[in-house]
Amino acid sequence: MTARFNTVDVDGLKVFYRSAGDPGAPVVLLLHGFPSASHMFRDLIPELADDYHVVAPDLPGFGMTEQPARNDFAYTFENITRVVERFTEVLELKKFAIYVFDYGAPVGFRLALSHPERITAIISQNGNTYLEGVSEAFAPVQAYWNEPTQANRDALRGFLAPQTTLFQYTHGVSDPALVSPDGRNLDDFYLARPGNDEIQLDLLGDYKTNVALYGDIQAYLRDKRPPVLAIWGKNDPFFIPPGAEAFRRDVPDAEVRFVDSGHFALETHAREIGAAMRDFLAKHPG
């Protein structure tokens, strides 16, 4: 496998992305979560690249993608989705399966709402779109949604601390020694960039718009019945197993699987998840 690392201009914004596989093969778009970037897919991409054209962008404000100032770019999930939508158009990705994880879920599902004809399948790895999938760990964030005071905003700064990144990577993992420190240390490096803390707090505040869209997303799933594979780390402290099981309510033949891992399940189960994706996508070539 040969991976390529490129930057493309998307309406004036420089977007970094990884790609691998034959550009003529079916496309899988990988959308990362907080506080990570496309490097979280470093072990998954080789599992898919023999059969698929795999594309993994860094979202604005994350990773190697340009980080414009907040007064020049609104850090909302709607705006980030617009960038990703235009990114797929600039790269001429006309149809694709989406892998959605954490923050990648509201971006990917917004893409599906806007252009259902482009989505060939959905793989959700701890990518939630049901209220029952949201754990009590979101209580401080919900308090900020309900009362967007400076005090409630400042109370969320703990989500940006290195010890929280470590918790996200290792909680629920049977043996934390299996989790490479490279990914979380790189995430902490990006979080520590000047101004990134306020960007992340903006997005935590805007996450309420994702919850407000749950009903629309569920209606899309019921109406369009896209092929769905929900494969989750069952010990995730943020997006809990009922959120995966709920997909069957709207897509009765959705495949739901759990792996014995936490939030960043690819750190320990990339091979297993990759194999499940290959089997699933082979059944749904789009």
**Domains of the chain (ranges, CATH numbers):** 3-283 (3.40.50.1820)
Are 265 and 125 in contact by the 8 Å Cβ rule? The answer is yes
Both tokens of 283, joined, read 């059944």
Predicted confidence at residue 99, as pLDDT, reads: 98
Instruction: Output the pLDDT for position 1.
Output: 73
Reading the block at residue 253, the tokens are: 């033949």
The DSSP bridge pattern shows strands 3-10 and 13-20 to be: antiparallel
CA distance 58 to 47: 20
What pLDDT, on the 0 to 100 scale, is given for residue 226? 98
* Rounded CA separation 285/9 (Å): 30
Per-residue pLDDT of the chain (286 residues; tens, 9 = 90+): 789 999 999 999 999 999 999 999 999 999 999 999 999 999 999 999 999 999 999 999 999 999 999 999 999 999 999 999 999 999 999 999 999 999 999 999 999 999 999 999 999 999 999 999 999 999 999 999 999 999 999 999 999 999 999 999 999 999 999 999 999 999 999 999 999 999 999 999 999 999 999 999 999 999 999 999 999 999 999 999 999 999 999 999 999 999 999 999 999 999 999 999 999 999 998 8
Distance CA 134, CA 241 (A): 9
Q: Contact 202/70 with Cβ under 8 angstroms?
A: yes
Distance of CA 190 to the CA centre of its chain: 17
Catalytic residues: 263
Strand pairing category for 3-10 and 228-233: unpaired
Phi–psi pair at 53, nearest 5 degrees: -90, 110
